[in-house]
Amino acid sequence: MHRQWVSREMHLKLAIANTNGLHGELQAVIGGSLKEIEGISLLALEESMESEREHLT
């Protein structure tokens, strides 16, 4: 069971990283007219992951 969760977590991290990358590439092409997505910044993601870890322990 633990192995499945590790795999799912890895897939989620990859999806988030790819979404972040796509958003960054679109910002480079479109410029400032592309709005920020709340919670997609690395700082917001790190804070979210830290609070989840604290909640689990």
> What confidence score (pLDDT) does residue 7 get?
92
DSSP classification of residue 40: -
> What confidence score (pLDDT) does residue 43 get?
62
- How many domains does the structure of the chain reveal? 1
pTM score, two decimals? 0.59
> What confidence score (pLDDT) does residue 34 get?
82
Instruction: Give how far the C-alpha of residue 28 lies from the chain's centroid of Cα atoms, to the nearest Å.
Output: 19
CB 27 within 8 A of CB 33: no
CB 13 within 8 A of CB 34: no
DSSP classification of residue 31: -
> What confidence score (pLDDT) does residue 19 get?
86
CB 48 within 8 A of CB 16: no
Residue 46 domain boundaries = 2-56
> What confidence score (pLDDT) does residue 16 get?
84
Q: What is the per-residue pLDDT across 7-47, written as a single tens digit (0 to 9) for each?
A: 999 998 888 888 888 888 998 999 878 888 777 766 666 77
